Amino acid sequence: MARAGAGGGTPSKAEIAYADATAAGVFRRRKAERARTFLPTGTVDGYGLCLRSPSRKHAGYDYVLILQSSRDAGGPISQVDDDTLVMRRPADTAPCATARLDWVNAG
C-alpha cells in the first residue's frame, strides 16, 4: 500500500470524477457529498477521500472511504490499473466520521 505519512491535499479532477462515480454507484444515486480534501496526513495509509450520504436506517450518515495508494493527476482512472480500495464497513470508514472535513455535493 502507500508509504506511511501519505495523505492530505485537494483531489484532482480525475479523482473527483472517480469519487462522484463511486458515490452514484454505492449510494444508488441517493444524495451524496464528497470531502473537499483528502483525509489529513497520518490518518490513513495512503490518500483517503471520504463520501457520505444520509443514512436510510438510522440518524446520521453512511460513509465510504476511497483509499488510493498514490495520487492521479491525469485522465480517467483505468479499471486495469486501478488499485483503489472502496471501503464501506463502519470500522473502515471511522476516519471519515470523526475527521473535521468540509463537504460538497458529489455528482
* 1 vs 35, more confident: 35
Quote the CA–CA distance of 64 and 76 in Å, as a whole number: 20
pLDDT digits (tens, 9 = 90+) for 34-72: 999 999 988 898 899 999 999 988 889 999 999 988 887
Query: For position 14, what pLDDT does the model report?
Result: 87
Q: What percent of the chain has pLDDT above 90?
A: 61
Q: Looking at the DSSP assignment, which residues form a beta bridge with residue 3?
A: none
The secondary structure of 76-103 as a DSSP string is: PPPTTT---EEE-SHHHHHHHHHS---E
Identify the pLDDT of residue 84. Answer: 86
Residue position matching grid coordinates 453512511: 62
Q: What is the pLDDT of residue 42?
A: 84
Mean pLDDT of 98-103: 95
Q: Rounded to whole angstroms, what are the CA distances from 86 to 59, 69, 107?
A: 23, 12, 17
DSSP classification of residue 7: -
The chain-wide mean pLDDT, for the chain, equals: 86
The Cα 72–Cα 13 span in angstroms is 9
